[in-house]
Structure 1
Amino acid sequence: MTEQPYDLRKVLDEIKDLPGQYHATDKEIDPDADLAGVYRYIGSGGTVMRPTQEGPTMMFNNVKGFPGSRVLIGLQASRKRVGTILHHDWRTLGQMLNDAVTHPVAPVKVDHKDAPAQEVVHYASEPDFDIRKILAAPTNTPVDAGPYITMGVVYGASPDKKQSDVTIHRMVLEDKDTIGMYIMPGGRHIGAFLKEYEALDKPMPITINIGLDPAITIGATFEPPTTPLGYNELQVAGALRNEPVQVVDGMAVDQLGIARSEWIVEAEIMPNTSMQEDINTNTGHAMPEFPGYNGTANPAVHIVKIKAVTHRQDNPIVQTTIGPSEEHVSMAGIPTEASILNLVDRAIPGKVKNVYNAPAGGGKLMTIMQIHKDDANDEGIQRQAALLAFSSFKELKTVILVDEDVDIFDWNDVMWTINTRFQADKDIMVLEGLRNHPLDPSELPEYDPARIRVRGMSSKLVLDGTFPYDMKKSFTRAQFKEMPNWQDYLK
């Protein structure tokens, strides 16, 4: 019997019976702010408003207004759970992703009959079609611009189909057949392909794939320079699973969809047109973003016209996330760790033992680097590593450097090194006038008119918490006796 390929349902089957990893509820939930409001307490973690915690992923089986549909939230809102899902040590997931991106496995096309995502088809030309009544897309807060697709992997290609890519964007349901899509300027390959279509004044066919194996959603968040234009990140998921991702031709657009998705929205991005993101609410807000603040509604998001929606027959799952949650850290942070390791391993091999993009930075803004020095001649190599990290990921804002005896996943240990192996007058590096992420509210010209000319510029920070190698004896931690039988005392 052939083993079932990986998809969301297979992953859920693997974790359902593990203590504290999965919880399903049949209690009715309103997807309009209530669903995210509940999960914020139970398991979102990250930079979400306190109180919050790391907890199980949750399946809501009874979603108000959407009989037969289910909503899953927080599947990746725990790094340890991601390790379980990918069958790998959670501490070295960045190294696993680095290996996957350098040994890609290409997708494979299947027939429509072999694509569970196309078991049910709704065409937008049908008189009663309304995406807002078909897809249980939640809002995160009462002031969101509307229901958002937050975990939709967009598949697009260049007009000549020679290059393709998958990316994740924030997408709001604006009307019965219209989505507003925010494509961040620079760095997203879908945006590069769209410019080619706009030059031809033609709509760009895409699919939006919802309800996926986390190997796909994590792999899809790689960015340049690690994955250059034309590198389709579905190849990363193929490498992580050691099996190709299955894709299928669209039913209504000339584009591929992910065959084992729960849902596929087939659509076209309209050329050279835009609309107000919060046109239905006028709140001025989009949705909560990874830094922990409500994103400002964009006055000119891209207009996406839906042509069809397909989904599985049996209780299709809408997968969603809370913007500032630990889930974003898993999706954005682990590939960023891989990107940093990819570059430093080539430039200064053996000097960076591990990297962690912590929740305090939302997975994007901060990294902690564990440095190995062989001798006094390696002094300074740690700061070279920090510069390489900034080069590998332009949205990185803060780098903390620690020695290899420090647990980079333990904030007490990281802060301990800053308090005992750090002097502010000599161990701080500030780099001014660099590009960063425009969602950071401190990166506004009015915040620092002298250094921030346009939104998205930033000063970047390095905190060097490594001790000078020639003073190693002064920084040796207290050594305790090794006790191989220590667990016997817990029996």
Structure 2
Amino acid sequence: MTINTTTRSAAALDLDRFRLRNFVEGLNADELDVREEKVDLADVAAILQNNPKAVWFRNVGPEGQELVGNVVGSRSRLAKAFGVPAGEVALEMRRRLSLKPELVKLSKDEAPVQQVVLTGADADLLKLPVHVQHALDGAPYISATIDYTIDPKNGRYNCGMRRLMLRGPQEAGVDLIAPSDLRVMYMASAERGERLNVAYVVGCHPIDMVSATMKEPVDELELISSLRAAPLPVVKCVTNDIMVPADAEMVIEGYFDERGYVEKEGPYGEYLGYYGVVKTNPVFHVTAITHRKDALFQTATISGNRMDYTDTSNLEALRMEMNVWKILGEVVRQPVAVYAPVAAGGSMSMRFSIRQTYPGEARSALYAVLGAVGVKNVFVVDPDIDIFDDSQMEWAFGTRFQADRDLVIATGVRLSPLDPSLHGARSGAKAGYDLTWPVQHAQNWELVTPQAPSYPGERYPSLEAALKAGPKHFEELMAAVGSRDGREVVRELDTFRSSGLERDERGRYYLPK
């Protein structure tokens, strides 16, 4: 199988519309921290760590290069990339998955990412502004990378985000331990004694990064086009047959050698906020580096104790939310909202709200999400709770949950091997928290959340007429006579006590007819 491409002139495409530099330039001061002063590479990590903004270094390292980090380290910036409100990004992604992709093949002369072509000794990783990210890392890492490979079995493109640890001018270590399609492809290639060609994009639009985290049964180069909701310009690499986005900032071409898992890689600060151990991994060899004339190099924030400010956690959260929306669509009639808390790495906790239509629906949804998605703590609430608001979630947890009734535990299940609480175990436990009201009790008036009065109801000629018309809350009585005070209503109510003034079980006032 080969990908289908159309041919258009580069002039017919806006090759800067999905350019990283354009996206960064479009961020306002609330989202972007611009550093005009000279910054040493050694200081980049400290500036990025726990920074809620994207940071654009205009003069970094001895070469005075440009570097940007933390671009997708917030839901608001991801929302800007998709052009929707922050709470609707996952839904917009679902919608775009149904769009037909279009790949437009450009020539080398038309492709911005091949304006500069470096091969041989000129293709030097050590000339790029690559910085040390965490104190105990094994070396500087290129972290904002999307790898492109072709599956020899079906010709489909496979994309993912895997870091590169610098080993020399033309060599880097790669983390290829976690189960993935690329791992399967490489192991088969190594068994045959063959190299596996790969191309790394460094510097791309946030939508491309989102696409690289997804696991959809489609060609993953075409997936970028669908998520962009636009034609994707592509160009063939100069040293292999892999097609890459022609509007990227930079591409590092090369291959994983045929020796298999032979070199130490790591340690490295992982996306759950702890270090990953030293591993034995394949070696990546550089064959070419191509880039725009004014390429903007990119780095990704990954670890630390504020995961909500990292690129990886925000990307992972979106991916998990997409999966949960899909599951809920199969088991729930009225799903309302889905959110993976980014502070938990985007993959350890999940919240969702539904509007229940029958008893047990919330519990059924809880079981479905626990079984189908790789998170270990799942919370379901009624639609009156804003799942994006930690305060409301804590309130619901404290007032609607009984552990012996509402806690669901699944044991002996597979969890992320990077979860440090496993302490080396191969399996663990998941928990579901049902914070919904039972359907049979949900309409009880005492379970209604108190709000400031809004004085609803119709006007009456007198308080007596309002009372005789039917039971009313004090708020409704004030509205009935147009009171903007309330104390005069109390005074007049007192005069009706001798006339048989009554109150029902909900505290409403009325006069017997």
TM-score if structure 1 supplies the norm length?
A: 0.84
Q: Distance in 2 between matches of 1:331 and 1:60?
A: 22
CA deviation after TM superposition for structure 1 residue 342, in Å: 1.4
Specify the SS of the correspondent of 2:39.
coil
| Structure 2 Cα separation of the partners of residues 103 and 291 of structure 1 | 33
Whole-Å separation in 1 of the counterparts to 2:46 and 2:332: 45
Q: Is 1:28 aligned to 2:9, yes or no?
A: no
2:394 alignment partner, one of 415, 430, 454:
415
Residue in 2 that maps onto 1:449: none
What whole-Å deviation, never above 9, does each CA across 1:389-410 have from its counterpart, x for those lacking one?
23443x3111111111111111
> Separation in 1 of the partners of 2:327 and 2:402?
28
Q: Is the 8 A contact 1:220 1:234 kept in 2?
A: no
**2:187/2:260 contact within 8 Å kept:** no
What is the alpha-carbon distance in structure 2 between the residues aligned to residue 475 and residue 287 of structure 1? 49
Distance in 1 of aligned mates of 2:274 and 2:407: 27
Task: Name which of structure 1's ranges 69-78 and 323-332 shifts more when overlaid on structure 2.
Answer: 323-332
Q: Percent identity, please.
A: 22
Q: Aligned letter for 1:75?
A: V
Answer yes or no: is 1:84 the counterpart of 2:80. Answer: yes
Q: CA deviation at 1:150?
A: 1.3
Alignment RMSD (CA, Å): 2.2
1:209 corresponds to = 201
> 1:155 maps to what in 2?
148
Q: 3-state SS of the aligned residue for 1:159? A: coil
Residue 306 of structure 1: how far off its partner (Å): 1.0
Deviation at 1:271, TM superposition (A): 2.7
| SS at structure 1 position matched to 2:95 | helix
Is the CA contact 1:150–1:320 (under 8 Å) kept in the aligned structure 2?
yes
Secondary structure of the equivalent of 1:61? strand
**1:481–1:114 Cα change, 3 Å:** farther
1:60 aligns with 2:57: yes
Gaps of 5+ in 1: 44-53, 279-284, 446-451, 484-491
Q: Give the alignment of 1:431-442 within 5 angstroms.
A: 431-442=410-421
The offset of 1:217, in angstroms, is 0.2
Larger relative contact order (Cα-Cα within 8 Å, sequence gap ≥ 6): 1
Correspondence 1:247-286 to 2 at 5 A:
247-278=234-265, 286=267
2:466 paired with 1:480: no
Match of 2:481 in 1: none
Counterparts in 2 of 1:334 and 1:400: CA distance versus 1, 3 Å: same
Output the amino acid matched with 2:47: V
User: 1:388 maps to which residue?
Assistant: 368
Structure 1 residues 66 and 160: CA distance shift in structure 2, 3 A: farther
| Alignment-derived partner of residue 114 in structure 1 | 110
Q: What amino acid is aligned across from residue 229 of structure 2 in structure 1?
A: N
Larger displacement relative to structure 2 (2-11 or 244-253): 2-11
Residues 101, 26 of structure 1: alpha-carbon distance in 2 compared, 3 angstrom cutoff: same
Q: How many residues align?
A: 438
**Contact 1:429 1:463 (C-alpha < 8 Å) held by counterparts:** yes
Cα distance change, pair 310–296 in 1 and its aligned pair in 2 (3 A): same
Question: Which piece of structure 1 moves more, 419-428 or 2-11?
Answer: 2-11
Correspondent of 2:159 among 166, 177, 185:
166
2:418 match: secondary structure: coil
Larger Rg: 2
Change in CA separation of 1:209 and 1:112 when aligned onto 2, cut-off 3 Å: same
Question: Which runs of structure 2 are paired with 1:301-450 in the superposition (5 Å)?
Answer: 301-323=281-303, 324=307, 325-345=309-329, 347-374=330-357, 378-393=358-373, 395-445=374-424
Corresponding letter in the other structure for 1:31: L
Q: Deviations over 1:2-32 (max 9, x none)?
A: 56242212212332xx241222212222223
* Secondary structure, aligned partner of 1:277: strand
Amino acid at match of 1:461: A
Shift of 1:36: 1.4
Report the equivalent of 1:177: 170
Q: Partner residue of 1:137? A: 130
Query: Residues 233, 370 of structure 1: CA spacing in aligned structure 2 closer, same or farther, 3 A cutoff?
Result: farther
Give a deviation string over 1:183-205, Cα, whole Å, max 9, x none. 2432x222232233234321111
Structure 2 Cα separation of the partners of residues 478 and 140 of structure 1: 48
Flag the 1:103–1:379 CA change in 2: closer, same or farther, 3 A. Answer: farther
Give the Cα–Cα distance (whole angstroms) in 1 for the partners of residues 292 and 365 of structure 2. 47
Q: How does 1:460-479 map to 2 (within 5 A)?
A: 460-472=430-442, 473=444, 474-479=446-451
Instruction: Say which of 159, 183, 189 aligns to 1:191.
Output: 183
Q: Matched residues in 2 for 1:170 and 1:475: separation?
A: 50
The structural deviation recorded for 1:167 is 0.5
TM norm structure 2: 0.80
